Amino acid sequence: MPRSSGCGPRWSQGAQTHGFEADLWTLERVGLVVHRMTGVTLSKASVWRLLTGRLGWSLQRPERPAVERNESEIARWIAHEWPRIKKGR
């Protein structure tokens, strides 16, 4: 695998710079960009090791809930669907 020292600035540009709709990195997205840049296909485990080991990244979660989040639909699902699923019907 090529050395990753030159990849740092590319990652800091954000996922949208690399053609993704949302500016959020996932293992799959990083793997795609690595493949585009180097021609090397990495497993998710290898991408994880690249990010955490060589680049020093850590797991991060978005601070705000998704725009699509519908609290009333979630409450309905918990009240009606989850009990039905839990009972095995």
Spell out the per-residue pLDDT of the chain, length 89, in tens.
334 445 555 777 888 999 998 888 899 999 999 999 899 999 999 999 999 998 888 888 777 777 888 899 999 999 999 998 888 75
Query: Rounded to an integer, what distance in angstroms lies between the CA atom of residue 68 and that of residue 65?
Result: 8
| C-alpha distances in Å from residue 18, one per residue of 22, 37, 41, 71, 80 | 10, 11, 17, 32, 41
Per-residue confidence (pLDDT) for residue 3, from 0 to 100: 40
